[in-house]
Amino acid sequence: MTTNDESAEHATESVAVSGAAPAMPPAPPAGADRGRKAPRSRLLGRLTIGVLAFLLVGSVMLNVYLVLLTALQMESGLASQVLRAGDEEQVVAVFTVSGVIDDEQAGLFRTFARRVRNDQNVRAVVVRVNSPGGGVSASNQIHQEISRIRNAGKAVVVSMGGLAASGGYYISAGADEIVAEPTTITGSIGVIAQWPVLSGTLEKLGAKMIVLKSSHAEQWKDEMSPWREPSDEQRRHLRDLLDAMQDRFEQVVVEGRGHKLAPYRGPVPEQPANRPPPEYAAFNGKVYVAEQARTLGLIDTLGYRDKAIDRAAVLAGLDEPHVKQYYRRQTLRERMGFETSPGIHIDGKTFDEIQTPRILFMWKAR
């Protein structure tokens, strides 16, 4: 039988034991900590992927922007190369007008002219011309730009290649001097208008073109129509129009070379009643080889491009000319070889061009 003292002692020992080693909470199940950390790891991974994706997209967009910027610069800019090293404050700028003179050629020349006019180091310009001519407006634009270059105090010399006829001569006439190669064909001071008449072809095909005109425009709106022959009255009107442009052409030549041109001598050619005979021998639409052209006063001397450059340096008073050739910078498509192959392409634009009459300063077969 247990006494009271023994019970109290046993209770005291139980309390002591309990205070020395308190009970611990039960351990969590295996994998519980990993379960809590997994969402954080997934969130960090997603943030990392998002940042990398943002950087990748940004890099792609930046590269696209740089490519487009480069392409635009290539489309509109001019490039240059040094042909003859010299004093960089005595620049002779060389530019070539080649092929049919159209709005694109005129625009490119306008870019060149603006650059050399504003460059104090450019003291003289050589325009290399190898062209049968082209559009009336495009030819006149280049002629006006050459006048502006001269008005800016810079000497201008034309170097003619194998062909510098009609519009090719129109843009040359305003230069200080004209140097032509011995085999150059030039002249053709005249205006031409031409268009196809397809009415017979349509009849053979069993087709017909219907043309309706407003009342006030009934007589003249389609005087150069490809679907019928013009009337006699329309032909007279078109001749008057061409004569007015001829007068403009001759005026440009006289302004540029009047004191050098050979006067017309010989029988008076048959002319319409309201037209005087030509004042100068070369005002007849004919082309001439270089020696004949020099006799008629159309050019100054014979020689090649280097001679034209030397003459430009002399006119500008340069003792150490630095000669630079300017040319159209290749487009991005051209540099990458993606330009379309040459060939005949019939589309809506081509069809419209066939129907659009053209009046040209151009030497060509009829």
- Positions marked catalytic: 166, 221
User: Do residues 133 and 363 touch, judged by C-beta distance below 8 A?
Assistant: yes
Residue 229 sits at φ, ψ, to 5 deg, of -75, 145
Distance CA 52, CA 256 (A): 67
**3-class SS string, the chain:** CCCHHHHHHHHHHHHHHHHHCCCCCCCCCCCHHHHHHHHHHHHHHHHHHHHHHHHHHHHHHHHHHHHHHHHHHHHHCEEEEEEECCCCCCEEEEEEEECCECHHHHHHHHHHHHHHHHCCCEEEEEEEEEECEEEHHHHHHHHHHHHHHHHCCCEEEEEEEEEEECHHHHCCCCCCEEEECCCCEEECCCCEEECCCCHHHHHHHCCCCCCCCCHHHCCCCCCCCCCCCCCHHHHHHHHHHHHHHHHHHHHHHHHHHCCCCCECCCCCCCCCCCCCCCCECCCCCCEEEHHHHHHHCCCCEECCHHHHHHHHHHHHCCCCCEEEEEEECCCHHHHCCCCCCCCCCCCHHHHHHHHCCEEEEECCCC
Neighbours of 27 (CB within 10 A): 7
